[in-house]
Structure 1
Amino acid sequence: MTTAPQQSVERPTLTLVTDNASEPLKGTVVEHQGATVATRPDWILSIGDRAKAARKHATENWLYLGWAARGYGRLAGQWYAGLDDDYRQMIRTARADVKAARGDSDAEQAAKRRVDQLRAARKQHRLIYSAKTGAWTATAGAAGTVTVVTGGVWTSLLLGIVTIAYGAWRGQPAVVATEDDPGRIEILSEEGEPFPIADATNRTEAAECVRRALVSEGIAVAEVEAGRRYDWGWEINVRLKKGTPADLIAKAGDLETPLDLPVDGLLCQPLRTSRARAVLRLVEGDPFVKMPPLPDRAPNSGRLRDRALLALRMDGQPTELSFLGLHFIVIASSGGGKSVTMRSIGDVLTACEDTVVIDLDPGGNGLEPLADAVGVRVVGADQMHVIEAVLEKLLKVAKARATLLGRLGMDDNWVPSRQYPAIVALIDEYPQLSPKAKALVVAILRVGRKARVQVGLAAQEATKDSIGAAIADSIALKILGPSRHQDIVQVFGAGAGANGYRPDRLHPAEGEDPADAGKAYIMGGGQRDPLIHKFISMTPAEGKERAAARAAAGRPWIDDISLKTAGVTFDDLDTVKPSAALPEAVELARLAFTANGDPERMTSEEIYEYVSSASETWAPQDDEDPAKAMARFQDALRKQAAELDPNADMKTKQWRGGRGYYLSTIDALAAERPA
């Protein structure tokens, strides 16, 4: 059917006469359901009309006195909320943790300490907050009093009007939404769609936001409670109906989308006290905007046992570590802040009156800014033979000190002092060490803790042949910055990622963008939770200035009794010459003895355990049976030994409890020869 084109209709202009108007008012006739009305928009109202409307509005609202009372009531509520600052809720949560930890004395005591800390912090916060309020109130009251006294009646009247007007502005009623323009969409419906966490204005909305996001990803939740809100985002407590917190961690990337978080902005911490509970941290900004300044550490002002400030934790708590009796390792990819971390630790150690610092780096400059304050410093790949010599001497000192403990009255562990200092060797670029140097490090790790001959390692990645099980089991303090996922397993252990340790979600610096350089997860040294820490950086100029002051004040040196008992000196390092390389199988067999403290004999299985972890060549290949791989290594050992000495007897020897090789046999083959 064809529709005829519509024709434009010219509306007539009529003259309407009002009852109270002497002049006719002209307007456009509007047809509406058969009725005609004349319209006059509000914007053409006269000034007089507006004044009348204003007077009417003020009269109806009793000169806004009710609005002003409501406004100052709201301000009082905001002040009271600031006085508490969420401490009430945090204390309640901490007390719940105490109940949940019953049966685990360590966890319960830690939770109780947390309650006490929060109560003390709330008390201090209230004192400061009240003092600030009192100061502002006194200042404003004095200014108002002076104004009233000196200004006269009109000034007082004006001040009163301003006071009422400000209160009325703060207390004006909410805008009544019209049906066509409500101005607000309800976001707390029972089963609505997820919404960005940035839209949450209070704890209830934040909890609902997270609940919706979890439900949208198929995660069954029993309870969601918003904890504290930080400058960087929210801390949310979640209890699951089924599954484990590992499910949350696995879906962290997917949850960031409905929550509208930055990439890698959702962190999950399972609670050890409850399998069903986890803490989610929604990181919307940088938690480390307000970093503390570099602590002032005067020469010889510290001791190795002291807890020193090194970093800031993302929840605002200071990261304080004691290095007494601790071997440690730092892993961070290129641009991840490994050098920053090592130099921050070096700054602490070189300020201790009872610690000698050894700086070894085969691939870089090591602690170059602190060079003046270290006891021995060897850097460069061409100095590998000197690094090996230093490590050999440290191993001998560690063994010698074990025999001196009783004589010096030190019980089971060496007690560091100015007279008998501890020794800490900081070794950067550990994977670049020679196999012999690595074996020496493993040996020191095994015997050095009680002798306080300690090792701190650093590397860009943790590969199986460089950071083997022997190292991972011997090191108590582990620091991982931006790194690979496999580094988590190699250093923190299997299951660490599922427990919230995710340094693989940190990003190294790129160009001028620092990204997450200097940030790390810490396991050990009193740090038990998978929280991000950021180390306090030190500029090279600051390091050199501090090192010069410490050198001028005098640094400790290894005690004579340890050196004499070990039969070593560090004065002859410039005379050390490189030695000829041994065939690989022979060298690995000798290093197996070295790594295990040079026992008189070792079984074939014990030797091969070290060899398979130190070299991919002799580790089982693909589906190769370990027994066949060990036989392959032993066959190569016999052939290479025959090349060195055709008369060498490389048959394994039997003794009670095992079968293998004697150290004297391997030593005869591995006797050092000039390069």
Structure 2
Amino acid sequence: MTVVTTYPNLTREPVDGDAMTTATESAPRAPLSLVKEQPQPIEGAVVEHQGEALRPTLIESGTELTIRAREHVAENRLYVGWTVRGYRNLVSQWLEARRDDHPQMILSAKAELKAAAGDTDAESSARKLLEARREAYKLHKRWHWIKTGAWGAATTTGVTTAVVVGGGWVDVLLSLGAYAVGAWHGRPGAGELLADKTSGLIVLEAGAEDPFPIADANTRDEAAECVRRALVSEGINVASVEAGRRYAWGWEVTVRLKKGTPADLIAKAPELETPLDLPTDGLLCQPMRQKRAQVVLRLVEGDPFEDMPALPVRKPNSLAMRDKALIAKRMDGQPTSLSFLGVHFVAIASSGGGKSVTLRTIGDVLTACEDVVVVDLDPGGNGLEPLAAAVGVRVVGADQMHVIEAVLEKLLKIAKARKTLVGKLGMGDNWIPSPRYPAIVALIDEYPQLSQHAKALVVAILRVGRGARVQIGLAAQEATKDAIGAAIADSIALKIVGPSRHQDIVQVFGAGAGANGWRPDRLHPAQGEDPADAGKVYIMGGGSTDPLIHKVIPASPEEGKQRADERAAAGRPWFDEESLAAADVSFDDLDEVRPHVRLPEVVELARAAFTAADDPQRMTTEELYEYVASAAPESWGPREDEEAEAARRRYLKELRDTAAVIAPTVDMKTKQWAGGRGYYLSTITELAGEEAPESG
């Protein structure tokens, strides 16, 4: 029996500046890449069973068995009743197969026709459905009679031939066979088994205001009513619901709240997925910035990214840094194109979230630019391995930390030197990338694995490098304070976050972002062979202002290598001589850099604080500790029930005690000056065993 679910009160409506391109004269330069035991059975012929002694059937006498068999036959009257019931069951089966589900389907169509009274389009559709189901029933009955006739003719022919040719014994055997078939189909319980054609599924009729699945909505009015009922069932006070565009993956619906806040609705999103019958994390909510009472709901029933475009073919030196390049597809079908001119960026995604794929896609864009030198730094992996041939400088591996630090030091010097060069070269306020004077982009994967000194250098570059077009692209698996400090989050304009943790939202997107619909924590990283949401990201910046899901267009390692080889053969830009000379640096001596003895953490953090601040002449202890607590919160941030001031004093005491051991001649008393008290740069550099650089 089929149970039809109806939804009352639903009506049906029809759905309604140029880059400089001076060619370099020098030859293409090769990139630098440096159980208990079982109880024994009870023996004997008598077994206790519910207090009564019973003897097993095997030791019953022959007389007893004969008596029992005779009683059984007499009781069942030679199974005549079984045989009659069996053939009656077979006739019922034949009739049931003749009807099948067609009568019920016709009744359902009649119900729809009755419900559509007054709606011309719906009534016409229901009438056509009724006629189609009647014709299907006629055709089914016709074929049922044809099959019955064919089987009947074959059986009759066979039996008649056997009776005529075989003689009396065949007649007896056929009669006994027919008798046995009937008895078998009429045995106790067989009728019930044969007659049970139900599905085992029970669906309750929906009440006048009960929610129903969004998949049952065919028109905009039905979709709006579906969402309204779901919201009311969860206690959301709704003023109006308007269904907008329907996509291949689901519906977009705008809700206006009568009272309350969008955050109340967003907090209810997981509960709303049940009455709407959506997949887990299939309800996305976006409050409208212009109207606080309005929230856009996206009901995702399927995958918005089933039809992904291919990664565009980018020929060598076919792009300029200012050009917008396709890197992803947005869930509403729009392309995601970004320009990286003067933009620092960060990519956050859990393991299996597609972070490395995102970096590789961005690297494909940058290595196709005629005016960009790409620097690949990765202390924990293989970096941009497929694109290695088109990378300018490449340093990977945890044992190469000293070289990574050296590269970052050189990039910082170049960024500072270019401040004086922009005027001399007539570029105005900011460096203008060209093949002759290329921009520099350092892509740093596994950023949390950098040393404290390297992290401080990155922070310094972020602060001074944008105008000089010495840019940073960071990637990490999480965005905790010790991984991506507040200074970094404040300095980065383009933020790309894939499957991640809830706390990463605040650290990267800012306080309140989750309540405004930025929820990458509801994306799921790949698990085994299941890709889940790997490669799906939220993008803030670069022209993207709405919390919509994007999916990065991947570049396979093989494809990346082929492209990189072509670009290397065509020639890639190199650091301009003017910048190298003004910064007094060279990248030809990286193989000469030797590892150095690491400083105690307290000292390294103090030195890193000055480096991150661009080596000012002095820093107050408050400024110094602010960086330390952000860079190493687990070690030096306030402990449970500890005030920040007490934590600061604890750190400073440890700094002095350590200095007394490693450099007892260094005066670690704090100095007083107008407006503050702290340490001079010269004191900290002496403690670190290096010469003080020129003040920033």
Task: Work out whether the TM-score is over 0.5.
Answer: yes
Kindly provide the CA deviation profile for residues 203-259 of structure 1, in whole angstroms up to 9, marking residues without a partner as x: 101100000000000001111011111111111111000111111110110000000
Instruction: Confirm or deny that 1:572 pairs with 2:589.
Output: yes
Indicate the SS of the match to 1:602. Answer: strand
AA in 2 matched with 1:302: L
Pair 1:451 & 2:468 matched: yes
Cα distance in 2 between the residues matched to 1:231 and 1:308: 26
> Quick one: distance in 2 between partners of 1:223 and 1:174?
39
- Report what 2:685 is aligned to: 667
Match of 2:211 in 1: 194
- What's the CA shift string for 1:70-102, capped at 9, x where partnerless? xxx979x99xxxxxxxxxxxxxxxxxxxxxxxx
SS in 1 for 2:619: strand
1:650 equivalent to 2:658? Answer: no
Write the distance in 2 (CA, Å) between the matches of 1:380 and 1:173: 69
Report the counterpart of residue 346 of structure 2 in structure 1.
329
Q: What SS does the corresponding residue of 1:262 show, helix, strand or coil?
A: coil
Alignment of 1:475-486 (within 5 A): 475-486=492-503
* AA matched with 1:637: L
Q: Which has the larger radius of gyration?
A: 2
Amino acid at match of 1:595: A
Matched, 1:501 2:523: no
Aligned to 1:318: 335
Pick one of 610, 629, 646 that aligns with 1:612. 629
State the match for 2:390 in structure 1.
Answer: 373
Spell out the pairing of 1:58-457 with structure 2 (5 A cutoff). Answer: 191-457=208-474
State the distance in 2 between where 1:186 and 1:582 align: 73
> Aligned pair 1:635/2:635, yes or no?
no
Q: Please name the residue that 1:7 is paired with.
A: none
Q: Decide whether the 8 Å contact of 1:580 with 1:672 is kept in 2.
A: no
1:417-443 CA distances to partner (integer Å, 9 max, x unpaired)?
Answer: 111111000000001111111111111
**Alpha-carbon distance in structure 2 between the residues aligned to 1:371 and 1:613:** 34
Alpha-carbon distance in structure 2 between the residues aligned to 1:409 and 1:525: 27
| Aligned counterparts of 1:507 and 1:459: Cα–Cα separation in 2 | 16
Partner of 1:224: helix, strand, or coil?
A: strand
Q: Counterpart of 1:207 in structure 2: which amino acid?
A: A
Distance 2:600 2:502 in 1: 35
Do the aligned partners of 1:579 and 1:672 also contact (CA within 8 Å) in 2? no
**Equivalent of 1:545, from 562, 568, 581?**
562
* AA aligned opposite 1:199: D
Q: What is aligned with 1:49?
A: none
Q: Which residue of 1 aligns with 2:86?
A: none
Displacement of 1:372 in angstroms is 0.2
**CA deviations over 1:479-506 (Å, ceiling 9, x no partner):** 1100111111111111111100111111
Show the counterpart of 1:65: none
Name the SS of the counterpart of 1:335 in structure 2: coil
Supply the distance in 1 between the matched residues of 2:383 and 2:246 (Cα, whole angstroms). 40
Structure 2: how far apart are the matches of 1:379 and 1:204? 57
Any conservation in 2 of the 1:482–1:506 contact (CA below 8 Å)? yes
3-state SS, counterpart of residue 617 of structure 1 = helix
SS in 1 for 2:275: helix
Q: 1:625 aligns with which of 640, 643, 646?
A: 643
Supply the distance in 1 between the matched residues of 2:548 and 2:663 (Cα, whole angstroms). 56
Of 500, 504, 508, the match for 1:487: 504
Residue in structure 1 matched with residue 610 of structure 2 by the alignment: 593
User: 1:601-630, CA deviations, whole angstroms, 9 ceiling, x for partnerless residues?
Assistant: 111111111111111211111121222211
Q: Secondary structure at the match of 2:624?
A: helix
CA distance in 2, matches of 1:307, 1:601: 42
**AA of the residue aligned to 1:377:** R
Matched residue type, 2:503: Q
Question: Aligned with 1:259: secondary structure?
Answer: coil
Query: Is residue 481–residue 506 contact of structure 1 (8 Å, CA) maintained in 2?
Result: yes
Letter in 1 for 2:605: L
Structure 2: how far apart are the matches of 1:186 and 1:411?
73
Structure 1: distance between partners of 2:204 and 2:254: 26
* Deviation, structure 1 residue 186: 9.8
- Residue in 2 aligned with 1:470? 487
Three-state SS of the structure 2 residue aligned to 1:548 is helix
Give the superposition deviation at 1:311: 0.3
Matched residues, percent identical?
Answer: 74
Residue number in structure 2 paired with 1:140: none
Residues 186, 511 of structure 1: CA spacing in aligned structure 2 closer, same or farther, 3 A cutoff? closer
- 1:451 match: secondary structure: coil
Structure 1 distance, partners of 2:204, 2:235, is: 25
Q: How far 1:645 sits from its partner (Å)?
A: 2.2
Structure 2 letter corresponding to 1:561: E
Task: Give the letter for the 1:623 counterpart.
Answer: D
Aligned to 1:405, the other structure's residue is in SS state: helix
Give, as a single letter, the amino acid of the residue that structure 2 aligns with 1:213.
Answer: A
Q: Which amino acid aligns with 1:491?
A: V
Deviation at 1:644, TM superposition (A): 2.2
* In 2, Cα distance between equivalents of 1:415 and 1:345: 20
Secondary structure at the residue paired with 2:456?
helix
| Rounded Cα–Cα distance in structure 1 between residues aligned with 2:421 and 2:522 | 47
Residue in 2 that maps onto 1:519: 536
Give the drift of 1:641.
Answer: 1.4
- The one-letter amino acid of 1:329's match is V
SS of the residue 1:494 aligns to = coil
Give the aligned residue type for 2:608: L
Distance 1:173 1:192, change over 3 A: farther
2:526 is matched by which residue type in structure 1?
A
Q: Give, in whole Å, the separation in 2 of the partners of 1:219 and 1:555.
A: 58
- Correspondence for 2:27: none
Task: Report 1 or 2 for greater relative contact order, CA contacts < 8 Å, sequence distance ≥ 6.
Answer: 2
Q: Deviations over 1:572-628 (max 9, x none)?
A: 001101111112221111111100001111111111111111112111111212222
State the alpha-carbon separation in 1 of the partners of residues 289 and 131 from structure 2.
49
**Which runs of 4 or more aligned residues in structure 1 lie more than 3 Å from their structure 2 counterparts after TM superposition?**
168-175, 184-187
**Alpha-carbon distance in 1 for matches of 2:678, 2:373:** 39
| Per-residue Cα deviation, 1:124-175 (whole angstroms, up to 9, x for no partner) | xxxxxxxxxxxxxxxxxxxxxxxxxxxxxxxxxxxxxxxxxxxx96896999
CA distance in 2, matches of 1:193, 1:479: 40
Deviation at 1:633, TM superposition (A): 1.4
What stretches of structure 1 of length at least 5 have no aligned partner?
Answer: 1-40, 45-72, 79-167, 176-183
Q: Aligned to 1:208, what secondary structure does the other structure show? A: helix
In the TM superposition, residue 672 of structure 1 has moved relative to its aligned partner by 5.1
The residue identity in structure 1 corresponding to 2:292 is R
